[in-house]
Amino acid sequence: MRTLRTIAELKTALRQPRREGRRIGLVPTMGAFHDGHLSLMRRARRDCPVVVVSLFVNPTQFNDAGDLDGYPRDPERDAALAAELGVDYLFAPSVDEVYPQGFATTVSVGRVTETLEGEYRGRAHFDGVATVVTKLFNMVGPDVAYFGQKDAQQAVVIQRLVRDLDIPVAIEICPTVRETDGLAMSSRNVHLSPADRVRATALHRALGAARDAVDAGEHDPRAARAVALAELARAEIEPDYLELVSADTMAPLDRIDRDALAVLAARVGGTRLIDNEPIHPTSKANDNGSP
């Protein structure tokens, strides 16, 4: 594996494989790798003869300076793990390389960014994500890019972005990888105290409870939400949000009658965590809703 620091080095390295028409897969990350990241790399390795992993803690998507400063970083371990998985190129540019002096452009995706994470973290968060991902697509020119379902709204934003701007890249969304007790893997989990680490398992239980309610025939999102909130309350967790939304648009649902997502964000101790659970309603008994 080669570690590349500049856009010029990256373009040079990819010139030959691109000329030969070899499929280039990109996995954008902010590092501090866990099995979630590694699952995306494995998938890319399986699908593509050329795998590029980007490692860049993007300052413009952080709405909280403390969160950026405290973001876990372990570049040497990351490089070793990526090399072990057979990644071809680790692209790890500096902040100045990505945002040189005079940088003045923002890519801003509308609508799907207005709720949930966009509402709680502010407009700048998804603007930062959309801008850096657009830049990475232009730098790497991947045929396919891999993202995690863990960041469900981000996945919707990126799919919207490539459609709206006609960016010629296929987007693959990979399933959320979890700890054995259900907690979604996240670089931020290392900040949880032992007691909060246990409390944090309530997030996945809460989402599962909402899904179970729908599986049992509940079509009213308020009722499914109440079941999930009760599960969180047992762990004394009050979420920033907990909603049942359309899986395509992240818009709130009046009735769960199509593919949905139960999504939540919550602070556990000082650590803000997000998670989600896909919900596929089937028509069953106990359907109290109107048609």
Could you tell me how many residues of this chain bind ligand AMP (CB under 6 A)? 17
Stretches 30-38, 81-89, 98-106, 209-217: which one binds ligand AMP (CB under 6 A)?
Answer: 30-38
Name the 3-class secondary structure at 134.
helix
284 residue type, one letter: K
> Does the protein bind ligand AMP through residue 128 (CB under 6 A)?
no
Nearer CB in complex with ligand AMP: 62/229: 62
**What is the closest distance, in whole angstroms, from the C-beta atom of residue 81 to ligand AMP in the complex?**
13
**Nearby residues of 145 by Cβ (< 8 Å), 6 or more positions away:** 25, 26, 27, 28, 136, 137, 158, 169, 170, 171, 172
Nearer CB in complex with ligand AMP: 30/156: 30
Q: How is residue 282 written in tokens? A: 């089937």
DSSP β-ladder status, 170-174 and 50-55? unpaired
162 vs 18: CA distance, rounded Å: 20
> Does the protein bind ligand AMP through residue 43 (CB under 6 A)?
no
**What is the closest distance, in whole angstroms, from the C-beta atom of residue 67 to ligand AMP in the complex?**
12
> Does the protein bind ligand AMP through residue 29 (CB under 6 A)?
yes
Nearer CB in complex with ligand AMP: 37/121: 37
Options 38, 85, 185, 262; binder of ligand AMP; rule CB under 6 A: 185
Nearer CB in complex with ligand AMP: 14/184: 184
- What are the φ/ψ torsions at residue 172 (nearest 5 degrees)? -115, 130
186 vs 276: CA distance, rounded Å: 13
Inter-residue contact 32 to 60 (CB < 8 Å): no
Options 37, 43, 160, 199; binder of ligand AMP; rule CB under 6 A: 37
Nearest to 277 by CA among 259, 255, 289: 259
The neighbouring-strand residues paired with 55 are: 29
Options 4, 39, 192, 218; binder of ligand AMP; rule CB under 6 A: 39
> Does the protein bind ligand AMP through residue 187 (CB under 6 A)?
yes
Stretches 131-139, 143-151, 215-223, 240-248: which one binds ligand AMP (CB under 6 A)?
Answer: 143-151
37 counts as catalytic = yes
Strands annotated E in the chain: 2-4, 24-29, 50-55, 89-91, 144-148, 170-174, 239-246, 260-268, 271-279
For residues 145-184, which are near ligand AMP according to CB under 6 A? 147-148, 150-151, 174, 176-177, 184
- Catalytic hit among 34, 37, 191, 280: 37
* Positions marked active-site: 37
Residues in the site for ligand AMP, rule: CB under 6 A? 29-30, 36-37, 39-40, 147-148, 150-151, 174, 176-177, 184-187
